[in-house]
Amino acid sequence: MKRRTLLGGLALASSAPILASAQDAAWPTRPVRLLVGWPPGGSVDILARLLQPRLQAALGQPVVVENRPGATGSVGAAEAARASADGYTWLVVVDSHAIIPSIMTLPYDTRRDFTPVTLIGRGPLVVTAHPSTPWASFPELVAAARSRQPGSIPYATAGIGTMMHVAMVQLCNVAGIQMTHVPYRGGAPALQDALAGQVPLFVTNAPVGGPHVRSGALKGLGVTTRAPWRDLPGVPSFHDLGFNGFEAPTWWGVFAPAGVPTHIRQRMEIALSRVLAEPEVRARVEA
């Protein structure tokens, strides 16, 4: 994953002086929450827990990761939107945070109720198949889907409105096939069923699916970056498979509830930037 900040230069940009209360100036003075709208074991949870100990050291206060799974991450986002804008609640998200407002009715407004703080990273999705399936490649899967009743082949994702879901719909449209989407409450429960062969196909991101592709527990049929991915040798990109120009990378980031004072948001961005720049943390994120 290539790391950069969403709000380039926000922490260092000059701005008008901000008058803060003594309490705000001392932030943080108590534990800080990182809300994750997904179950434990998924990519958002993995990254939040990777950041937690180093962020805790940087801020000098306990940092607690809280999982609030459900409705494609929107349960956790709704809790973050309701939280006091005092700098003690932050939301760690994946790409679906920007997608689901167009397909779901939400109890919050993504643009109005949140402010982006930093981008953690970007990376590929990977379409995987259980080893028991007969398809050795994505073209073989396409051929099988064309020869069967439309929708007879199911695929699992972490939920409706995730980039995984959107990317697979796009691939099916371009290939002229229909498959049935099986949404889960997160990447971890979908992975369990994929490894057990309960679903033949699983579309996920590299942090979740990559280790199992490398171990042989799942077959990698293609990645959604323009070029093959360094950590999944032998797995072609969909661009190279004939889906010219196809690219659907996933991303992870940190957001603040709207109204968090600018100087507190800047301090959090600086802390996150420093943590993500640490060689050990950077290596683990890239892995």
What pLDDT is attached to residue 70? 92
Alpha-carbon separation of residue 32 from 3, 25, 66, 119 (angstroms): 23, 15, 10, 19
Cα 267 from Cα 90, distance rounded (Å): 13
Give yes or no for a contact between 73 and 38, defined as CB atoms under 8 angstroms apart.
Answer: yes
pLDDT at residue 278 greater than cutoff 80 = yes
54: closest CA among 281, 286, 283, 285? 281
Give yes or no for a contact between 209 and 126, defined as CB atoms under 8 angstroms apart.
Answer: yes
pLDDT at residue 26 greater than cutoff 90 = no
Give yes or no for a contact between 160 and 177, defined as CB atoms under 8 angstroms apart.
Answer: no
pLDDT at residue 37 greater than cutoff 50 = yes
Confidence of residue 7 (pLDDT cuts 50, 70, 90): very low
Confidence of residue 40 (pLDDT cuts 50, 70, 90): very high
Confidence of residue 206 (pLDDT cuts 50, 70, 90): confident
Alpha-carbon separation of residue 109 from 100, 112, 257 (angstroms): 11, 5, 11
193 or 206: which carries more pLDDT confidence? 193
pLDDT at residue 242 greater than cutoff 60 = yes
Hey, CA dihedral for 100, 200, 69, 32, is it positive or negative?
Answer: negative
The secondary structure of 44-67, three-state, reads HHHHHHHHHHHHHHHHCCCEEEEE
DSSP 3-state of 108: coil
Percent of the chain past pLDDT 70, that is, above it, reads 91
- The radius of gyration of the chain's CA atoms, rounded to the nearest angstrom, is 20
Give yes or no for a contact between 196 and 114, defined as CB atoms under 8 angstroms apart.
Answer: no
Confidence of residue 285 (pLDDT cuts 50, 70, 90): confident
Residue owning tokens 């943390």: 281
Cα 199 from Cα 207, distance rounded (Å): 20
What pLDDT is attached to residue 24? 59
Mean pLDDT, the chain, as a whole number? 91
pTM of the model: 0.80
Average pLDDT on 54-72 reads: 96
Hey, CA dihedral for 67, 73, 76, 81, is it positive or negative?
Answer: positive
Alpha-carbon separation of residue 270 from 69, 115, 283, 284 (angstroms): 28, 15, 19, 19
Average pLDDT on 120-136 reads: 96
pLDDT at residue 12 greater than cutoff 80 = no
Return the half-sphere exposure (C-beta side, CA atoms, 13 A cut-off) of residue 225. Answer: 16
Give yes or no for a contact between 34 and 47, defined as CB atoms under 8 angstroms apart.
Answer: no
The 10s digit of each residue's pLDDT in 83-104 is: 999 999 999 999 999 999 998 9
Q: In angstroms, how far is the first alpha carbon of the chain from the final one? A: 8
Give yes or no for a contact between 40 and 188, defined as CB atoms under 8 angstroms apart.
Answer: yes
Least confident of 13-22, 65-74, 167-176, 235-244: 13-22
pLDDT at residue 268 greater than cutoff 70 = yes
Residue partners of 111: CB distance under 8 A and separation at least 6: none
List, in order of start, the domains of the chain with CATH numbers: 30-122+251-286 (3.40.190.150), 125-223 (3.40.190.10)
Cα angle, residue 189 at apex, residues 241 and 217 outer, rounded to 5°? 50
